[in-house]
Amino acid sequence: FVGQTDEDQGTDAEICTIASNFDAEATQSSSASGSNKPEETFTVDDALEAIGFGKFQWKISFLTGLSWVADAMEMMILSILGPQLHCEWRLPSYKVALITSVVFIGMGISSPIWGNVADKYGRKVGLKVCMCWTLYYGLLSAFAPAYGWLLFLRGLVGFGIGGAPQSVTLYSEFLPMKARGICIMLIAAFWAIGAVFEVLLALMVMPDLGWRWMLGLSTVPLAIFVCFCFWLPESPRFDVLSGRREKAMATLTRIAKENGKTLPQGRLIAYNQNERGRFKDLFAPQYWKTTLLLWFIWFSNAFSYYGIILLTTELFQAGDLCAMTQGAKIEPDCSLECRYLTSADYKDLLWTTLAEFPDQHAVY
């Protein structure tokens, strides 16, 4: 500056130096306080709660429900196929029963296998593979040339059906907590829809085209599901637990975009998990009673449900063949002729199958 002495200039320099040091210390203090601030994080459950139930969940409801429809149709066909082959191939009762039994044996063997596949490679992978498996061998069953081949192929169909419950696992891992109960029951409603579709298909196909067409057309829902599998994302919960956080984040972002919502602020983190579940954990002191109770409930449910379904067509087929009326007295008069199920029988079976819907409504 003009007119300033050297002493004045030195004083100004000292003031500037002090001010610079103060600014540097303030910046360091600000950085330190910022680094001590905790980072915002969220879990998959936090994200699903923020996203809520929307367009994406409706889509996945119908797609996973379609797999349940296909599963129900493959199971319902057992009650229709047995009486038909009993007459057409002149099979004794134990061979007819074996056609049904091998399906359940296949399911029992494969269920833990598909569970391990889903835990190791993903829910989507397990569901896709088991559905492709069921589609392939279900379609081959329609071309079975003899009883032995049919028995073998239906056993392999049962092996594939054992993985169908993965659809419920995958579905539930995309749902917010408040919607899980009613939405999982929605999947059960798709089972009733599949059973009704199968009886309607039998009513239209069996009288004229026969059981081979019936088996082939019953795989159509499976084929549709397999074609649309590409849309299904992997469970973000599985991806996070498997160390694929970027993939899980991409899935959650996609869901939020479809639902028109925003994700929580921060970074996606994994759950606190020390070890994957083991079979023996089911019998830990805090779980063994629940395990045994659930096993008993499922056994009783399957025993009564499938028992009634299979017995219904047997009763329709038997009819009054072993009785005749003479006045007020019923005399035995058994016929050796095998009786095929008629359109009237399928209509009666349709009414009994429709009875599943009031039960679903009562549960809701």
pTM, to two decimals: 0.79
Q: What dihedral do alpha carbons 92, 94, 95, 101 form, nearest 10°?
A: 160
In 3D space, the residue among 349, 362, 359 whose CA is nearest the CA of residue 191 turns out to be: 359
Determine if residue 4 is left, alpha or beta; phi over 0 gives left, psi from -120 to 50 gives alpha, anything else beta.
beta
Tell me phi and psi for residue 232, to 5 degrees: -65, 125
Task: Say whether 126 sits in a helix, a strand or coil.
Answer: helix
Give pLDDT tens digits along the chain (364 positions): 434 444 444 444 443 443 444 344 444 444 444 445 667 888 888 899 999 999 999 999 999 999 999 988 988 898 889 888 988 899 888 898 999 999 999 999 999 999 999 989 999 999 999 999 999 999 999 999 999 999 999 999 999 999 998 999 999 999 998 888 888 888 888 988 999 999 999 999 998 899 999 999 999 999 999 999 888 999 999 999 888 999 999 999 999 999 999 998 888 887 665 555 677 888 888 989 999 999 999 999 889 888 888 887 777 766 555 555 455 555 554 544 577 778 888 888 888 888 777 766 666 5
The CATH class given to the 44-273 domain equals: mainly alpha
Instruction: Give burial (CB, 10 Å; 0-12/13-18/19+) of 146.
Output: exposed
In 3D space, the residue among 130, 132, 137, 131 whose CA is nearest the CA of residue 152 turns out to be: 137
Instruction: Give burial (CB, 10 Å; 0-12/13-18/19+) of 167.
Output: buried
Domain ranges of the chain: 44-273
